Structure 1
Amino acid sequence: MADASARTAGVVLAYHPTDEIHENIARLLTQVPRVFVVNNSPDETSRALFARLDPQRVEVLEQAGNVGVAAGFNAGMRAALDAGFDFVWIFDQDSTVADEMLDALLRAQARTDVKVGIVGPALRAAETGNVYDADRGRGSAPIEALISSGALFSRPLLEDIGLHDEPLFIDYVDHDISLRAIRAGYTNLKVFDTLLDHRFGDSQPARFLWRKVYLANYSPMRHYYTSRNRVIVMRRFGPGKWFRDDVRYAAKAWLKVLFCERGRPKKIGAFFRGLRDGITYRDV
């Protein structure tokens, strides 16, 4: 896989990053020759952090402001493709890169029994170290939707289906591009032989009944986009397995919002505004 690794660029999306981002970029640079960091919070603090990066191997792409997840990833992906790379491997700053992860993803990418689409790692909760039930297995297997972080894209795939849908801004951006790949005849693959440690939101510990839980504490804005974009993606692709899985996840998340989080009235209001706007949304 050495040749394919040399043709792979990493993309890291940053929004008010902390020093932790340096460790992730360093881990990426042990597996890829170049990393593009997309700065979605171009302030003096982030610039000072990024000034310590090696400019020979890391290029910082400053955005005008918070352009969103979709546009941010697209900026890094375009830069990687323009630089001649054949594979783009994307991350947000809430994930930890595992050793030899790229080799595992590229082995799945090289499968010839299916028309390979997006390839991504299995997930492990960074807070607890627990591997999610759906992420246990061996080898690689078809999946409808992969989360953005850790996902590997090939140049031919992106030239065929396009980049992320920027008007979605955040949330379900990954569902949309994954389902577009399937609609175009590709098979997305989850790779169980490598694990991505990922955090959702603040991951703040709390007690709910007799259990310890972790709260995302998403802002009302996030709840708006989650609600709106879930409806948009369902309208585009129909309520497949991805939707059933998502409803189960959303139900658990909202139990924690309603019983454990603060600012519930604003979050509930944002949910219903998003639902309304998702129903009335018109694709261009």
Structure 2
Amino acid sequence: MPPAPTPPRIVAVVVTFNRRALLERLVDELRRTPRLAEIVVVDNASTDGTGAWLADQADLHGVTLEENLGGAGGFHAGMRIALQRGADLLWLMDDDGVPATGCLDLLLEHQGEFDFWGPAVLAEQEPSRLCFPIRLPGRAAVVHRMAEVEAAAVDGVIPDVVIPFNGVLVTADLAGRIGLPREEFFIWGDDVEYLWRSRRAGARTGTVVDSHFLHPATDDLGTPLMFGRTTYNHSPSDLKHYCMARNNTVNLRDYRGWPAVLAFLVKTVWFYTFTRPDAGRLRLSAEAVRAGLRGDFTGHRRFLGG
């Protein structure tokens, strides 16, 4: 009889910044998760005592960075550490989400079918609703309700759809082939770029519908515009918007082409001219787009303070 296959070494990679209470909640849940070999936490130079708390957690591999590198820099560092520590599978998540009971086990039922796959990401305040609206394969409109996702699933899976870096599994083999997230992105779009890079490399992606990851619904993601024919990812934060406009421009140019960049510019102008008029936000958008096209990833720093 051949020997039983060696179970994969699964390492959770968590990125945190100034949300110690939420981080502690997440770590408590991860500690209760079977089959998880190790937890790596990357602290983006928090000022709320997170670094000191991590230093006291003997069962974690905690790393506090010298400066805030955002989610992009945090996942870049965390994934590198996890790979160095022998991870076969990397389980990626931010500090404010939390996996539902059985999330990892349900994902692992599909090990070998995918290279980059994850759970359904639900709004923590209303779990019947998706935290991030998604476009189902073969459909033009986005969906917001979990019931629509369940109805569209094939054998419990939505193929070719995944919400990156929210409880997703990435194989070490894939990370070895395509590299790490683009740390210069800081926040917003780094996860999408990594997903699109994965697909370009032939990665198999999907969402396991019965596996759930809870995340607080924040900002005005998927705000309708153009009389409901499309949506726009508005954020009241100038930092988030600047990074979104800059990084989205780069991603669309590199992976979707100039017509997609033009469509994004039209949506941005429409949104801040008609949907939520804001001349200042239009100027900021133009500045961010120019920075992205120039390859300048420094402009966000003025919003960080201190």
Superposed pair shares fold, TM > 0.5:
yes
TM alignment of 1:6-155, pairs within 5 A: 7-31=9-33, 32-43=36-47, 45-53=49-57, 55=58, 57-111=59-113, 116-132=114-130, 133=143, 136-137=149-150, 138=153, 139-143=156-160, 146-155=163-172
Paired amino acid for 1:231: T
Calculate the aligned-residue CA RMSD, in Å. 3.5
User: What is the count of residue pairs matched by the alignment?
Assistant: 259
The separation in 2 between residues aligned to 1:193 and 1:44, in whole angstroms, is: 35
**Which piece of structure 1 moves more, 132-141 or 83-92?**
132-141
**1:250 CA drift (Å):** 8.0
Among candidates 247, 261, 280, match of residue 294 of structure 2 = 280
Q: Does 1:271 align with 2:285?
A: yes
Paired amino acid for 2:29: R
Q: Deviations over 1:103-153 (max 9, x none)?
A: 121222322xxxx22111112112322323365224223225532121111
Aligned to 1:211: none
Q: Deviations over 1:183-211 (max 9, x none)?
A: 111121111111211125468xxxxxxxx
The separation in 2 between residues aligned to 1:251 and 1:127, in whole angstroms, is: 31
Contact 2:14 2:39 in 1 (8 A): yes
Percent identical pairs in the alignment equals: 25
The answer for unaligned runs of 5 or more in structure 2 is 131-142, 221-232, 298-306
Paired amino acid for 2:247: N
The separation in 1 between residues aligned to 2:29 and 2:181, in whole angstroms, is: 25
**1:70 CA drift (Å):** 1.5
The answer for unaligned runs of 5 or more in structure 1 is 204-214
Contact 1:15 1:41 in 2 (8 A): yes
**Which piece of structure 1 moves more, 129-138 or 230-239?**
129-138
**1:177 CA drift (Å):** 0.8
Q: Does 1:190 align with 2:207?
A: yes
Paired amino acid for 2:90: V
Contact 1:219 1:267 in 2 (8 A): no
The separation in 1 between residues aligned to 2:234 and 2:28, in whole angstroms, is: 27
Contact 2:188 2:247 in 1 (8 A): yes
The 3 A distance-change label for structure 1 pair 168 and 20 is closer
Contact 1:220 1:266 in 2 (8 A): no
**1:69 CA drift (Å):** 1.4
The separation in 1 between residues aligned to 2:272 and 2:71, in whole angstroms, is: 23
SS at match of 2:109: helix
Q: Deviations over 1:41-66 (max 9, x none)?
A: 2436222433453x1x2111110110
Runs of 4 or more consecutive aligned structure 1 residues displaced over 6 Å after TM superposition: 249-255
The 3 A distance-change label for structure 1 pair 128 and 36 is same
Contact 1:140 1:189 in 2 (8 A): yes
